[in-house]
Amino acid sequence: MLITDGGLVPKGNPDRIEGTAATRWGSYNIEGSDDLRGEDYEVSHGGYDTRFVQEDPDRLVPLDAMREMEKTASSANCMTNSFPPAADPIPCRTHAASAER
């Protein structure tokens, strides 16, 4: 699961998410996708220059990098975060690690 408050929405903004003071959120299926393409998405966010995101939505929602990490993930390089930091962080479970059990 990737979560962002950056305002990346499918072209046409089907959920009509406001660019400022949004009162709605959207959930979009990325299963089977390894990369986000500018022609499929737009930005509904009033807080920054969106030109670079329109060129490459992975700058806002790094699906390409996450898919690469997913391929090489192991419990040794995947740690949970907490604030304040835990004294002994607990390794998170990946799909690969879960399948090995």
> If you ran DSSP here, which 8-state letter would residue 42 be given?
E
Global pTM exceeds 0.85: no
Higher-pLDDT residue of 2 and 21 is 21
> Would the pLDDT of 12 be above 90?
yes
> Would the pLDDT of 55 be above 50?
yes
Of 32-41, 47-56, 72-81, least confident by mean pLDDT is 72-81
Instruction: Specify the length of the chain in residues.
Output: 101
For the segment 32-51, the average pLDDT, to the nearest whole number, is 84
72-84 pLDDT tens trace: 765 444 444 445 5
